[in-house]
C-alpha cells in the first residue's frame, strides 16, 4: 500500500459514533499528575480511587492454587454450577431468593449492568439515573447505545432522592428503566424504604424495568440497605446486578451476577453470555466458598470501613467552608469545596501543594455528573487508606484550602 492509499484508508474507515462519545475514565484523569509528583519525592495519598486496599481472603488464593483440572476449559455461559449455587446461597443469606435458573454469572457487576441495559432498551431509548452516579454507567450506556437521563440530587440532603413528581419529570415515552445504586457510589447514600418505594411506584405506573446495582450491599453503617427484591410488586420487572468485587476485595476476579425473576431478561442475558462464551473458570471456583459463607470475611471489613467513614466525617467537619454529610454506606463521600472549580483545586493540590512532604489526590466530582456544570465545586473521596492516613489526608486538604484561598496558586 502506498502512502496515498494508506491515507485514503484512514479517512474511509472512520470510527463509530459510539467510539466518539465513549468516555475515558475521568477517575484516572489526574493519576498521571500524581505519578509525576511522586517522582519528586512527595508522598501522595490517593483519595480518588475505589480499589479496595485490604487483603483478599487467603482461601481465594488457596482455591486458585488447588485448581486441579487438566484443561482450563470454558465454563458454561450462565456460570459454573458451583458458582451459580454459591450466588443463590449468598443472596438467600440476605433474604433474596432466586432459583438457580434465574441467575447468570457475569464478568463483574459491570457486565451484569451492560447485559441489563442491552436486554431492556433499544438504541436511543432512555434509562433514568440519579446524578452524581457511578461514572462507568456512561460507558455502559454508550456500549448499549442507550441514553442516560439524569435526575439531579443535592448535597444539601445528603444526596437522597427527590420527591416522586420530580423524578417523574425525567420519564418520557422512550424511558425503559430506572437504574439506581443502593448504597450509592459516589455519594455513599443509602436510600430508605420510602425512597425506594417512589421508584417502585413510578416503575409500575410507567411500566418500566428497575435495574438495581447492589454491589455495596453490606457496606451499610447505620441501617441495612434494602434490596429491590424486597418489593414483591416489582419482582417481575426488577433486575438485580451484584458483584463479589467490593465485599470480598476481589476486584480482579471479575465475578458478578445478574438476577431476575423476569424470564425474558434472564434468557436474553444468557444469550449475551453465550456470545462471550464464559466467565473465567478458576475465579468462579475460587469465589464460591466466600459466597457460601460470607459473614466471617465481610463483617470485619465493614467494621473497618465504618471506622474510616467516621474518621473522614469527623475530619471534614473541622474544615471551614466544606459541605459534607454522613454517608450511610459504601466507602465514598462527595463533598462541596469552598472553591469555584474543584478540578482546578485538585490539579493545584497534586502539582504544587505539600504539607510535610505529603499531598492528596482528589477526584473532581464533575465526572460523576451527566449535566454540564453540575458538581463543579465538588470532589469525591474514597476511603481506601488506613484511618490514620485518611486523617492525615483530611489535614492536608484543610491546609491546602487555606493556602488556596489566600491565592497561593
Ligand atoms: C456502583 C458500582 N457498580 C458496579 C461496579 C462494577 O464493579 P465490578 O465490575 O468490579 O463488579 C462498581 C465498581 O466500582 C461500582 O462502584
Q: Per-residue pLDDT tens for 230-287?
A: 999 999 999 999 999 999 999 999 999 999 999 999 999 999 999 999 999 999 999 9
Are 290 and 302 in a shared domain?
no
Separation CA 281–CA 409 (nearest Å): 52
Residue 344 lies in a domain: yes
Shortest-distance atom of ligand 1 to CA 107: 9
- Per the CB < 8 A criterion, the answer to whether 210 and 223 are in contact is no
pLDDT digit string, tens, across residues 34-59: 999 999 999 999 999 867 789 999 99
Q: How many angstroms separate the alpha carbon of residue 253 from the centre of ligand 1?
A: 12
Residue 5 lies in a domain: no
Residue 308 lies in a domain: yes
Are 288 and 355 in a shared domain?
no
Q: How many angstroms separate the alpha carbon of residue 181 from the centre of ligand 1?
A: 10
- Which residue intervals of 151-280 are DSSP H helices? 164-168, 193-205, 263-275
Q: Whose CA is nearest to atom 14 of ligand 1?
A: 50
Range of the domain at 357: 16-55+297-405
Separation CA 169–CA 165 (nearest Å): 6
Separation CA 91–CA 291 (nearest Å): 9
Are 304 and 158 in a shared domain?
no
Q: Can you give the CATH number for the domain in which 194 is found? A: 3.40.640.10
Cα–Cα distances (Å) from 289 to 57, 283, 286, in that order, read 10, 11, 7
- Per the CB < 8 A criterion, the answer to whether 149 and 179 are in contact is no
For residue 7, pLDDT over 90 is answered with no
Residue 7 lies in a domain: no
Question: Could you tell me what percent of the chain has a pLDDT over 90?
Answer: 88
Residues with C-beta less than 6 Å from any ligand 1 atom: 50, 108-110, 134, 181, 185, 213, 215, 243, 245, 251, 256
Q: How many angstroms separate the alpha carbon of residue 150 from the centre of ligand 1?
A: 19
Identify the pLDDT of residue 5.
61
Residue 375 lies in a domain: yes
State which of 265, 295, 325 marks the end of a domain. Answer: 295
Are 34 and 152 in a shared domain?
no
Q: Whose CA is nearest to atom 16 of ligand 1?
A: 185
- Pocket test of ligand 1: the residue of 191, 215, 257, 332 to mutate, having most ligand atoms within 8 Å of its CB, is 215
Q: Is 223 exposed, middle or buried (0-12, 13-18, 19+ CB in 10 A)?
A: exposed
Q: How many angstroms separate the alpha carbon of residue 323 from the centre of ligand 1?
A: 26
Are 319 and 288 in a shared domain?
no
State which of 240, 271, 295 marks the end of a domain. Answer: 295
- Pocket test of ligand 1: the residue of 25, 50, 106, 109 to mutate, having most ligand atoms within 8 Å of its CB, is 109
pLDDT digit string, tens, across residues 276-325: 999 999 999 999 999 999 999 999 999 999 999 999 999 999 999 999 99
286: three-class secondary structure by DSSP: helix
- DSSP single-letter state for residue 95: T
State which of 239, 271, 295 marks the end of a domain. Answer: 295
Identify the pLDDT of residue 377.
97
pLDDT digit string, tens, across residues 167-222: 999 999 999 999 999 999 999 999 999 999 999 999 999 999 999 999 999 999 99
pLDDT digit string, tens, across residues 99-140: 999 999 999 999 999 999 999 999 999 999 999 999 999 999
Which residues neighbour 230 within 8 Å (Cβ) at sequence distance 6 or greater?
Answer: 95, 96
Are 77 and 137 in a shared domain?
yes
Are 155 and 249 in a shared domain?
yes
Residue 123 lies in a domain: yes
Place of cell 448535597: 155
Separation CA 332–CA 266 (nearest Å): 31
Shortest-distance atom of ligand 1 to CA 110: 9
Q: Between helices 387-405 and 295-317, what is the axis angle to 10°? A: 30
Are 174 and 70 in a shared domain?
yes
Q: How many angstroms separate the alpha carbon of residue 357 from the centre of ligand 1?
A: 33
- Pocket test of ligand 1: the residue of 48, 217, 243 to mutate, having most ligand atoms within 8 Å of its CB, is 243
Are 221 and 314 in a shared domain?
no
Identify the pLDDT of residue 328.
98
- Per the CB < 8 A criterion, the answer to whether 213 and 179 are in contact is yes
Residue 8 lies in a domain: no
Q: How many angstroms separate the alpha carbon of residue 350 from the centre of ligand 1?
A: 26
Shortest-distance atom of ligand 1 to CA 251: 10
Q: For the chain, how are helix, strand and coil distributed in percent, rounded to 5?
A: 45, 15, 40
Residue 135 lies in a domain: yes
Q: Is 338 exposed, middle or buried (0-12, 13-18, 19+ CB in 10 A)?
A: middle
For residue 8, pLDDT over 60 is answered with no
Are 195 and 72 in a shared domain?
yes
Shortest-distance atom of ligand 1 to CA 111: 9
Q: Can you give the CATH number for the domain in which 21 is found? A: 3.90.1150.10
The pTM of this model reads 0.94
Q: How many angstroms separate the alpha carbon of residue 321 from the centre of ligand 1?
A: 31
Q: How many angstroms separate the alpha carbon of residue 256 from the centre of ligand 1?
A: 9
Q: How many angstroms separate the alpha carbon of residue 251 from the centre of ligand 1?
A: 9
Nearest-10 Cα torsion for 120, 204, 137, 175: 70
Q: How many domains does the chain have?
A: 2
Are 272 and 162 in a shared domain?
yes
Can you name the residues that pair with 149 across neighbouring β-strands? 128
Are 280 and 222 in a shared domain?
yes
Q: How many angstroms separate the alpha carbon of residue 240 from the centre of ligand 1?
A: 13
Shortest-distance atom of ligand 1 to CA 50: 14
Amino acid at each position: 500500500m502506498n502512502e496515498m492509499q494508506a491515507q485514503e484508508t484512514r479517512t474511509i474507515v472512520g470510527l463509530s459514533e459510539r467510539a466518539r462519545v465513549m468516555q475515558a475514565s475521568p477517575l484516572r484523569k489526574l493519576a498521571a499528575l500524581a505519578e509525576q509528583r511522586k517522582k519528586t519525592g512527595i508522598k501522595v495519598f490517593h483519595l480518588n480511587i475505589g480499589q479496595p486496599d485490604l487483603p483478599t481472603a487467603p482461601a481465594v488464593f488457596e482455591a486458585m492454587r488447588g485448581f486441579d483440572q487438566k484443561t482450563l476449559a470454558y465454563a458454561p455461559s450462565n456460570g459454573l454450577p458451583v458458582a451459580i449455587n454459591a450466588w443463590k446461597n449468598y443472596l438467600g443469606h440476605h433474604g433474596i431468593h432466586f432459583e438457580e435458573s434465574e441467575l447468570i454469572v457475569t464478568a463483574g457487576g459491570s457486565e451484569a449492568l451492560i447485559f441489563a441495559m442491552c436486554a431492556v432498551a433499544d438504541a436511543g431509548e432512555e434509562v433514568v439515573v440519579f446524578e452524581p452516579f457511578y461514572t462507568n454507567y456512561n460507558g455502559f450506556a454508550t456500549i448499549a447505545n442507550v441514553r442516560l437521563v439524569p435526575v439531579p440530587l443535592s448535597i444539601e440532603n445528603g444526596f437522597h432522592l427527590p420527591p416522586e413528581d420530580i423524578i417523574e419529570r425525567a420519564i418520557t415515552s422512550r424511558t425503559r428503566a430506572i437504574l439506581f445504586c443502593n448504597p450509592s457510589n459516589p455519594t455513599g447514600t443509602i436510600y430508605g424504604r420510602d425512597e425506594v418505594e417512589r421508584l417502585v411506584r413510578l416503575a409500575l405506573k410507567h411500566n418500566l424495568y428497575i435495574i438495581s446495582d447492589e454491589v455495596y450491599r453490606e457496606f451499610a453503617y447505620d441501617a441495612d440497605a434494602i434490596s429491590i427484591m424486597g418489593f414483591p410488586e416489582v419482582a417481575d420487572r426488577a433486575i438485580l446486578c451484584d458483584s463479589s468485587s467490593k465485599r470480598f476485595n476481589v476486584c480482579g476476579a471479575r465475578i458478578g451476577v445478574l438476577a431476575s425473576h423476569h424470564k425474558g431478561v434472564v434468557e436474553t442475558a444468557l444469550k449475551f453470555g453465550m456470545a462471550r462464551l464464559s466467565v473465567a473458570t478458576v475465579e468462579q471456583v475460587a469465589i464460591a466458598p466466600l459466597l457460601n459463607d460470607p459473614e466471617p470475611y465481610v463483617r470485619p471489613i465493614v467494621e473497618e470501613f465504618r471506622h474510616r467513614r467516621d474518621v473522614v466525617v469527623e475530619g471534614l467537619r473541622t474544615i471551614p467552608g466544606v459541605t459534607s454529610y454522613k454517608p450511610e454506606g459504601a466507602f465514598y463521600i462527595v463533598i462541596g469545596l469552598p472553591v469555584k472549580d474543584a478540578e482546578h483545586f485538585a490539579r493545584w493540590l497534586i502539582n504544587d501543594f505539600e504539607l510535610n512532604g505529603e499531598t492528596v489526590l482528589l477526584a473532581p466530582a464533575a465526572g460523576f455528573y451527566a449535566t454540564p456544570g453540575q458538581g463543579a465545586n465538588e470532589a469525591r473521596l474514597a476511603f481506601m487508606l488506613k484511618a490514620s492516613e485518611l486523617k492525615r489526608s483530611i489535614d492536608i486538604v484543610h491546609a491546602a484550602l487555606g493556602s488556596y484561598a489566600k491565592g497561593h496558586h
